[in-house]
């Protein structure tokens, strides 16, 4: 039986089914857990969370069996989930959402690191425990697609496997929305993205983080991660067929030259095709032990060159529409001989995003930042090329687009 109680009524021995509030309002990444540590009880009661759902079939009831605050309710899990899913988010500007996305990235990294390391030690994965991560990432993407996706790209190479999972989750959510999938399908796509690389937990770290070229034997071992991950997920709880499929087949190619099953276009599922595109984009834009990450716009250009035989053309086109020809964080040159960074996409055209102008090429120096919406009829400026921040000695490009003095998490 589920009961909704005030946090002051929580006591050691209760099973917390759900804390009533945003996942970001408390430090617990698991959705449900037994309250067996006085420190955890004190932590919950010190947060902004005021109410919680407890499961009396798995732990203690309210003392005396009575809810003195008259907020007890018996509900089934479906109704509870429907209530949580019904929350609406409004559109946020990039700077505002970036501030929230930093916290989401930080908490997601900790949660995924914990979850994956437990999987490495043999603990069965439970999709329900990962669902709060997916929900929070999905909500951020709904509020502003570019903010969290842009920040997740800024991962440290030592955290690559964990934050790559967070980034692919966000990219899958964004792509699923662009494809017009339903809310539940969007969540499934996000979950698949979050868990697609769990098999890398079975690959030795010295191989995953090797700075030089892999030997043939090492590369074969790395290529085993989809199969290893699939095995791990089969032993897990509440793992959907979509998540299993994306884990096993996100390295398949439409020309049949992928792995592990050399599937061809007709054999590869929609979600696996989505996973393939999202996986590659985040991989090539991220800093790795053996290479520096490419700029977002350059990565899109490269992927377009590789698209024949690698990706489903319709899926790749939808992906580009979801993040832009010039993704958030891209440095561009304007016709007015100024440099600007992309801060938001336009619904009207991929070629007319919203930009922050901050550099004069003519004077070779910084100028007072100015926001331009290139899609507005009154705006006469336009993008003429993609540029490299290194070429122009702009080390703070991420601070400029995000509006954060330190966009790390």
Q: How far is CA 161 from the centre of its chain?
A: 12
**Tokens coding 8:** 């002051």
Helix (H, G, I), strand (E, B) or coil at 372: strand
List, for residues 115-157, the tens digit of each pLDDT value: 999 999 999 999 999 999 999 999 999 999 899 999 999 888 7
Q: In this model, does residue 86 exceed pLDDT 50?
A: no
Q: In this model, does residue 161 exceed pLDDT 50?
A: yes
**Mean pLDDT (whole number) for 165-187:** 96
**Tokens coding 91:** 């559109």
Structural contact between residues 214 and 154, judged by C-beta atoms closer than 8 angstroms: no
Structural contact between residues 100 and 24, judged by C-beta atoms closer than 8 angstroms: yes
Phi, psi of 19 (to 5 degrees): -95, 130
CA distances from 253 to 145, 269, 310, 343 (A): 27, 11, 5, 32
Structural contact between residues 191 and 112, judged by C-beta atoms closer than 8 angstroms: no
Q: Which of 45-49, 62-66, 137-141, 278-282 bottoms out in mean pLDDT, i.e. has the lowest? A: 62-66
Pick the more confident residue, 99 or 89.
99
Res 24: pLDDT: 66
Q: In this model, does residue 73 exceed pLDDT 60?
A: no
Q: Could you write out the DSSP letters of every residue in 176-218? A: HHHTT--HHHHHHHHHHHHHTTGGGGGS-HHHHT-SSPPPHHH
Which is nearest to 372 in space by CA: 407, 335, 398? Answer: 335
169-351-95-135 Cα dihedral, nearest 10 degrees? -20
Res 313: pLDDT: 92
Q: pLDDT-derived band of residue 49, with 50, 70 and 90 as boundaries?
A: confident
Res 63: pLDDT: 65
Q: In this model, does residue 172 exceed pLDDT 90?
A: yes
Res 382: pLDDT: 96
Res 157: pLDDT: 75
**Mean pLDDT (whole number) for 24-52:** 80
CA distances from 327 to 101, 207, 301, 344 (A): 17, 31, 11, 8
List, for residues 289-335, the tens digit of each pLDDT value: 888 899 999 999 999 998 788 999 999 999 999 999 999 999 999 99
Using left for φ > 0, alpha for ψ between -120 and 50, and beta otherwise, residue 402 falls in alpha
Phi, psi of 169 (to 5 degrees): -55, -50
Q: pLDDT-derived band of residue 70, with 50, 70 and 90 as boundaries?
A: very low
Which is nearest to 291 in space by CA: 388, 215, 211? Answer: 211
d(CA 319, CA 41): 44
Res 7: pLDDT: 85
Res 137: pLDDT: 96
Phi, psi of 23 (to 5 degrees): -60, -25
Res 60: pLDDT: 87
Order of strands, edge to edge, in the sheet holding 33-34? 2-6, 51-55, 15-19, 33-34
Res 87: pLDDT: 42
**Mean pLDDT (whole number) for 353-361:** 98
Res 347: pLDDT: 85
Q: pLDDT-derived band of residue 82, with 50, 70 and 90 as boundaries?
A: very low
User: Cβ contacts of residue 119 below 8 Å, gap of 6+?
Assistant: 125, 198, 201, 232
Q: Where are the alpha helices (DSSP H) in 121-182?
A: 127-143, 145-152, 160-178
């Amino acid at each position: 039986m589920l009961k909704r109680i005030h946090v002051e009524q929580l006591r050691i021995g209760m099973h917390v089914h759900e804390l009533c509030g945003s996942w970001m309002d408390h430090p617990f990444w698991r959705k449900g857990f037994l309250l067996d540590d006085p420190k955890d009880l004190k932590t919950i009661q010190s947060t902004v969370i005021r109410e919680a759902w407890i499961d009396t079939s798995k732990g203690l009831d309210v003392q005396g069996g009575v809810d003195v605050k008259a907020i007890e309710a018996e509900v089934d899990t479906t109704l509870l989930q429907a209530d949580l899913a019904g929350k609406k988010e409004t559109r946020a500007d990039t700077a505002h959402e970036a501030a929230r996305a930093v916290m989401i990235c930080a908490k997601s990294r900790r949660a995924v690191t914990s979850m994956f390391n437990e999987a490495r030690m043999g603990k069965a994965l439970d999709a329900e425990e990962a669902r709060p991560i997916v929900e929070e990432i999905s909500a951020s993407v709904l509020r502003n697609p570019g903010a969290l996706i842009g920040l997740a790209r800024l991962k440290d190479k030592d955290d690559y496997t964990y934050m790559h999972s967070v980034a692919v989750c966000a990219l899958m959510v964004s792509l699923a929305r662009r494809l017009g999938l339903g809310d539940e399908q969007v969540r499934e796509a996000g979950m698949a993205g979050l868990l697609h690389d769990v098999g890398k937990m079975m690959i030795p770290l010295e191989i995953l983080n090797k700075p030089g070229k892999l030997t043939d034997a090492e590369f074969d071992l790395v290529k085993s991660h989809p199969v290893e991950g699939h095995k791990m997920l089969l032993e897990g709880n509440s793992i959907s067929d979509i998540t299993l499929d994306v884990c096993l087949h996100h390295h398949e190619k439409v020309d049949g030259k992928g792995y592990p099953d050399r599937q061809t276009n007709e054999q590869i599922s929609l979600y696996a095709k989505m996973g393939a595109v999202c996986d590659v984009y985040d991989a090539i834009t991220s800093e790795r032990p053996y290479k520096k990450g490419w700029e977002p716009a350059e990565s899109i250009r490269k992927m377009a060159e590789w698209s024949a035989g690698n990706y489903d053309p319709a899926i790749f086109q939808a992906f580009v529409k979801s993040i832009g020809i010039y993704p958030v964080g891209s440095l561009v040159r304007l016709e007015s001989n100024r440099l600007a960074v992309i801060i938001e996409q336009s619904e009207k055209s991929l070629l007319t995003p919203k930009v922050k102008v901050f550099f004069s090429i003519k004077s070779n120096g910084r100028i007072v930042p100015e926001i331009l919406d290139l899609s507005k009829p009154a705006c006469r400026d336009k993008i003429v090329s993609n540029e490299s921040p290194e070429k122009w000695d702009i080390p703070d490009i991420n601070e400029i687009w995000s509006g954060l003095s330190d966009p790390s998490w």
